[in-house]
Chains A and B, each alone.
Chain A
């Protein structure tokens, strides 16, 4: 299965600032997925990122808050903009492979 590297692994940020999370995959993939996992909760899909087109956002998530880039078939970034304490979560990148969906280790974000 694909190996996913996410950076940073964790960060503590001031409210009102923005954080960009990077996701690097060791193989070319068509779609990359960004999930949010709030404390003690399940995973919720934020958006699907396709190379060469605009990301597709799920209900409740908007591009102005979570802009996504997908410059090539192995890399994507998710930015959490104008952060508030409610954005404190784990953000996870995922790709689909032959054996199913693989997840990165996540970025643990704390907004103070």
Chain B
């Protein structure tokens, strides 16, 4: 059972454009929603995370939008740069669960 669904599978965006990745979850007990960035040959690195008590969180060029009623959250990468080319994973967890449920991943390519 796929508890976190992520789309699109891949994304090509021009430099300076906006990358948008969407995730939907099923378990209403989830209360922690991080995004990870992974470069080839590296482990995933925490990019930004949100809890359901806020609808939006921004850190630099990265913004998470969260819609609790729709059970959806998304990552927006503003002013995308070639260095942002990587695979992005959304995930979900809950207090006391101690593990992450990952989405399938989105490969983002930013063209010069």
A interface, CB within 8 angstroms of B: 1, 4, 31, 33, 41-45, 48, 92, 94, 96, 99-106, 108
Contacts of B104 in A (CB 8 A): 41-42
User: Nearest B residue to A108 by beta-carbon distance?
Assistant: B41
- Contact in complex: A48, B41 (CB < 8 Å): no
Q: Which residues of A contact B34 (CB under 8 A)?
A: 100-101
Q: Are A99 and B46 in contact (CB under 8 A)?
A: yes
* Residues of chain B within 8 A of A94, CB atoms compared: 100
Of chain B, the residue at the smallest CB distance from A1 is B46
Q: Check A92–B43 contact: CB distance below 8 A.
A: yes
Q: Which residue of A lies closest to B103 (CB)?
A: A42
Q: How far is the CB of A35 from chain B (nearest CB, A)?
A: 8
Q: In the complex, how many residues of chain B place their beta carbon closer than 8 angstroms to a beta carbon of chain A?
A: 19
4 new A-B contacts at CB < 8 Å, known A1-B46, A42-B104, A101-B93: A4-B43, A41-B104, A103-B44, A105-B42
Which of A1, A43, A108 has the most chain B CB atoms inside 10 A of its CB? Answer: A43
Q: Is B89 an interface residue (CB 8 A)?
A: yes
Across the interface, do B43 and A106 meet the contact criterion of CB distance under 8 Å?
Answer: yes
Residues of chain B touching chain A, judged by Cβ–Cβ distance below 8 Å, are 32, 34, 36, 41-46, 49, 89, 93, 98-100, 102-105
Q: By the criterion CB–CB under 8 Å, are B43 and A104 in contact? A: yes
Q: Once the chains bind, are B43 and A45 in contact (CB under 8 Å)?
A: no
Given contacts A99-B46, A103-B44, A104-B43, contact A42 B100 (CB under 8 A): no
In the complex, 13 of the A-B residue pairs with CB atoms within 8 angstroms, ordered by the A residue number, are: A33-B99, A41-B105, A42-B89, A42-B102, A42-B104, A43-B44, A45-B99, A48-B98, A92-B43, A99-B46, A100-B32, A101-B100, A103-B44
Task: State whether A48 touches B99 (Cβ < 8 A).
Answer: yes
Contacts of A102 in B (CB 8 A): 46
Residue of B nearest to A93 (CB): B43
Q: Give the chain B neighbours of A105 by CB distance below 8 A.
A: 41-43
Central interface residue in A41, A42, A96, A99, by most chain B CB within 10 Å: A42
Cβ of A43: which chain B residues have Cβ within 8 Å of it? 44, 89, 100, 102
Chain A residues whose CB sits within 8 angstroms of the CB of B102 once the complex forms: 42-44
